[in-house]
Structure 1
Amino acid sequence: MTTRNECQDSGDEPAALLQPSRRRFLQSAAAAATVGAAPHLRADAQTPAAPAARVPDSVPPRPVTLTVNGRAYTLQLEPRVTLLDALREYAGLMGTKKGCDRGQCGACTVIVNGRRINSCLTLAVMHEGETITTVEGLASNGVLSPVQRAFIEHDAFQCGYCTPGQLCSATALLDEFRNGTASVVTADVRTRPARLSDDEIRERMSGNICRCGAYANIVAAIRAAHEGGGQAANVRSIVHRMTDHGNA
């Protein structure tokens, strides 16, 4: 005769078999992961190592002669040196500023053969035999140019970092206008602009950014220089005037 205890034991046994232990489950999962990763491990072991990248031989510097502000500079430059770095780091002309170094701000503007360019976007070796003018070359024999004088009279700068590029760009702008070069806002590009309006100035100076926001005074200064309001002045007299104004 089957006892009560025997009936209970026979009923519990299948339930125990259907509930594996936690240790057995973990062991099975680990074994499955190992089997699945084995083909990938063999493939990685059989993949040959990529050859080491060959470092290109450096090009030695060579003499490059640049004519800057009427003076010849013979510099030992690598072909990859930009005109901006050549002026600042090799020729010692620190007036030209490095702003974005990507041709977006205009702080590095210089004049090459009468044409304004971003010196950070061109190589120095490309300008041998050309005439380069930086902000240091705008004044002549201690006398400020009309554009420089107008910038001072109209307070066309604040921190002054962008000012060298602004001055070079404005100087070239006036020459371009006198030569009849049209701009995007010129009514008829087939004829010379009738006058140098504020819209013309803003468009032609759009490549030069002033982060201080002195745009209104910059436009006024260029207009004054164009109309003859920015007459040449002695550098010492201007500095003396600014010093007195600061002391007042």
Structure 2
Amino acid sequence: MITLTNVLKNYSSEVQIGPVDLEIPAGGITALVGPNGAGKSTLLTMIGRLLGLDDGAIEVAGYDVSTTASKDLAKIISILRQENHFITRLTVRQLVGFGRFPYSKGRLTRADEEIISRAIDFLHLTELEGRYLDQLSGGQRQRAYVAMVLAQDTEYVLLDEPLNNLDMQHSVHMMRHLKEAAAELGRTIIIVLHDINFAGHYADHICAVKNGRVVEFGTAAAMMDGQILTRVFDTPVQVIDGPNGALAVYY
């Protein structure tokens, strides 16, 4: 479980995140949704300790992220930010191998290599593992970054807008891979998404953030409600029965 207690981040007298009190259950996918600038990515980076808190506390699996040693936290939480720009020319396998650094410190063992291969296979990158990142399509490269995070072998995986710059086909494939990772590998995945319909279809829980605060939280089925989504996004939303479940329509 991830627990946020009175979490606060001040940017100025007019801009702040929180206070936030939230419990995210272990297992499955929880999607963070909301308008642009709502604070979704900030909350995610605070959970992953890439951004400090001004007040409050965050616990992941009972560990306080502010005080737990980095070497220990890296075996509990892995995080992928939006900015994935490696300057050094790397192959897919070399990139995924970085996920093992908390364990190997750069000296990969046979066990590490097996975990790397498993992550590559899981994201269907086996035929591409010898290619350099700059030789891949955007969708292939994004899968490689997610494989790196999965190779870190943490129970909690934080992903900040992994569907950015992906077309519809690759977005669907990515969400299917993540759903499989949550179910088959036992991961708890927290993901920032812009598309509420992807959240409704693939997530188990949805957390709506607005003006720096959590304004709604519930199961995906409960959150796919026109009145709730209209309040969250400040625009009329109707939820209809689509061929594969609830579908949010903006008008």
TM range (shorter): under 0.3
Q: Which gives a bigger RCO, structure 1 or 2 (Cα 8 Å, sep 6+)?
A: 2
Higher helix share: 1
The structure with the largest strand share of the pair is 2
Greater radius of gyration (CA): 1
The alignment's TM-score, normalised by the length of structure 2, stands at 0.23
- Length-normalised TM-score, structure 1: 0.23
